[in-house]
C-alpha cells in the first residue's frame, strides 16, 4: 500500500500505474504544511476493477477521511475521466471499525474532474484539520502514450510485447506496448490476474514460483506451467533471477480504462488481455 507520514512537511505522496494500452495514471496526495502535531497516513485500496479507495488515517490508525476514485477512458481513447465519489455501504461493510464504529467522513457528493488529455492534471480539495497545518487535497494526472511506446515509472520488472503460453499452448499476447515498475501483472480473460514481484511482498500471499532468463519468464502455479516471452529483458538490472507470483483467478477489470480502443478487432487486446506495472499492488489487490 502507499503509506507515508504527514510529519514529512510538504510531502507529495504519489502512486503510479501504467498499462500496455498506453494509459498511465498518477494519484498524488498533498497534505499542506503539517506541523507534526497530528500524524496522517495515506492508503489506497482497490474498490472495483476501475475504482480505488483513498483512505486517510490518523496516528491512532483511525480513518479521518475516505473517498472512492473511479477511472474511465473516453470512447475515442484520447481522454481519461475521473470521478471522486462518497464512500457508502460497501466501504462500511469492508472496514466496519474504520473510525471506531462511527461513519467515516467523506465527500458530500460526486465530484467530476475535468476530462484530462495526456499530460494534464486536476485537483480535488478534501478536508482540513485546523491548527496542525493539514489542508489535504488529491491530484490526478493522465498520460496517454502512443501505441508501442513504453510506459511506467520505472522499476525492476518490465513487460515488453509480452506473449503468454499455458502448458505449451499460446494463450495471450503480444501486448501492444511495454510497461515497467516495481510490480507487474497481466490479465487473461477467463484465467484472471497474475501478479509479479522480485521478492516476497510483505503481507501478501505470493510464492516463489519460477525464474527469469533475459526476456523469458517461466513459472508454475496451481500445477499449471506458464512460459512468457517479450521483446526486452524482463529484469531491468540483471540478466536473470527468481520471480514471486500471486494468481487471482477471480480478478476481473471493469469499466473501459484497461481496454485498448485502438487495437484491431481481431487483436488479443480487444478481448481484454493487458499488461500493467506499478509502484503499488493496491492498484489491483484489495
pLDDT score for 4 = 37
Report d(CA 253, CA 128) in Å as an integer.
Answer: 33
**Residues 147-190 pLDDT 10s:** 656 666 678 999 999 999 999 999 998 888 889 999 999 999 99
Residues of the chain with pLDDT under 70: 1-12, 147-153, 263-271
pLDDT score for 107 = 97
Q: pTM of the full predicted structure? A: 0.88
pLDDT score for 267 = 63
pLDDT score for 147 = 65
pLDDT score for 1 = 35
pLDDT score for 38 = 79
**Among 262, 273, 254, which Cα is nearest to 161's?**
273
pLDDT score for 150 = 65
Q: Where are the domains of the chain?
A: 25-144, 157-283
pLDDT score for 270 = 62
Amino acid at each position: 500500500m502507499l503509506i507515508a507520514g504527514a510529519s514529512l512537511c510538504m510531502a507529495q505522496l504519489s502512486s503510479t500505474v501504467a498499462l500496455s494500452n498506453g494509459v498511465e495514471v498518477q494519484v498524488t496526495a498533498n497534505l499542506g504544511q503539517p506541523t507534526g502535531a497530528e500524524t496522517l497516513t495515506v492508503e489506497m485500496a482497490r474498490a472495483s476493477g476501475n475504482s480505488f479507495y483513498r483512505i486517510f488515517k490518523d496516528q491512532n490508525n483511525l480513518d479521518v477521511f475516505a473517498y472512492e476514485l473511479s477511472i474511465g477512458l473516453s470512447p475515442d481513447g484520447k481522454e481519461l475521466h475521473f470521478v471522486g465519489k462518497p464512500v457508502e455501504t460497501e466501504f462500511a461493510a469492508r472496514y466496519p471499525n474504520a473510525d471506531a464504529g462511527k461513519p467515516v467522513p467523506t465527500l458530500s457528493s460526486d465530484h467530476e474532474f475535468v476530462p484530462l488529455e495526456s499530460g494534464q492534471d486536476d485537483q480535488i480539495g478534501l478536508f482540513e484539520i485546523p491548527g496542525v497545518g493539514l489542508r489535504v487535497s488529491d491530484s490526478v494526472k493522465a498520460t496517454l502514450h502512443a501505441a508501442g511506446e513504453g510506459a511506467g515509472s520505472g522499476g525492476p520488472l518490465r513487460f515488453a510485447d509480452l506473449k503468454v503460453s499455458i502448458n505449451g499452448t499460446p494463450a495471450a499476447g503480444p501486448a501492444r506496448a511495454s510497461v515497467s515498475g516495481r510490480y507487474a501483472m497481466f490479465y487473461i480473460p477467463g484465467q484472471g490476474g497474475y501478479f509479479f514481484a522480485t521478492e516476497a511482498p510483505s503481507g501478501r500471499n505470493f510464492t516463489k514460483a519460477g525464474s527469469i532468463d533475459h526476456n523469458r519468464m517461466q513459472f508454475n502455479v496451481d500445477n499449471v506451467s506458464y512460459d512468457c516471452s517479450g521483446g526486452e529483458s524482463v529484469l531491468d538490472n540483471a540478466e536473470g533471477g527468481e520471480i514471486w507470483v500471486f494468481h487471482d483467478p477471480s480478478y476481473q477489470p471493469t469499466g473501459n480504462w484497461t481496454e485498448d480502443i485502438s487495437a484491431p478487432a481481431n487483436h488479443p487486446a480487444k478481448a481484454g488481455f493487458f499488461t500493467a506495472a506499478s509502484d503499488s499492488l493496491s492498484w489491483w489487490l484489495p
